[in-house]
Amino acid sequence: MGARPVKDGLSAVSFPANIAGVPVEVWETTIPVLVHRRALVPDSGGPGRLRGGLGQVVEFSMPEFERWLANLLTDRVRFPARGALGGLPGAGGRVSTLDDQPLPAKGRVHMGRADGIRLVTPGGGGWGPPWERDPELVAEDVREGFVSREAALEVYGVALDAAGNVLWPETISRRTRYANMGKEVANDG
């Protein structure tokens, strides 16, 4: 889910049914599926003053069946969710086999007992320029594993020390440059 005017977007809301928080155990007890992995995808939420929700990776197979059919109906693969008011787009989704062979975003795919699917859901778009996000929130995002240290520095303009604390002089300098670059781009358009 994309960022909202007053809150970050919600993470992992698009699978299995556009709702959040369906436990893996529910899937495995109601359908014959084996979930190998389910996790949030760092840096997938669109950067912004308010960050887009993160996508998730879900890896699963159906080892009880000799052959099975996957009916794929995924979106935001070619066109990621856009950001708003200077926010950046979220990461696009993708579908592949567990050994990284690409699968079509839409269509039927025949699978065998040893086959599995890796579904990476898209992230939501950000709201507002990333360099306007509170540096302490960026530091928290890094601690939580939502944003990488590299993205904190290069995209949000937040420098962190080894303990994850904001390095204020470098952060202020970097963010001033980012804000000025944004003004130059706006004046050229």
Which run of H or of E encompasses 149? helix 149-154
Give me the chain's average pLDDT, please. 92
pTM of this prediction? 0.89
Q: What is the rounded CA–CA span in Å between residue 127 and residue 133? A: 10
> pLDDT tier at 38 (50, 70, 90 boundaries)?
very high
When comparing pLDDT for 10 and 20, which is higher?
10
pLDDT at position 93: 96
Q: What is the rounded CA–CA span in Å between residue 47 and residue 5? A: 14
Whether the pLDDT of residue 34 is over 80: the answer is yes
The arithmetic mean of pLDDT across residues 58-81, rounded, is: 94
pLDDT at position 180: 85
Whether the pLDDT of residue 144 is over 70: the answer is yes
pLDDT at position 31: 87
The arithmetic mean of pLDDT across residues 4-32, rounded, is: 82
Q: What is the rounded CA–CA span in Å between residue 16 and residue 78? A: 20
pLDDT tens-place string over residues 89-143: 999 999 999 999 999 999 999 999 999 999 999 999 999 999 999 999 999 999 9
pLDDT at position 184: 63
Whether the pLDDT of residue 185 is over 60: the answer is no
When comparing pLDDT for 4 and 186, which is higher?
4
Can the peptide bond before residue 102 be classed as cis, meaning omega within 30 degrees of 0? no
Give the start-to-end residue ranges of the domains of the chain.
24-120, 130-188
Q: Where does 10-167 show beta strands of DSSP type E?
A: 34-40, 56-61, 67-73, 94-97, 106-112, 116-120
> pLDDT tier at 183 (50, 70, 90 boundaries)?
low
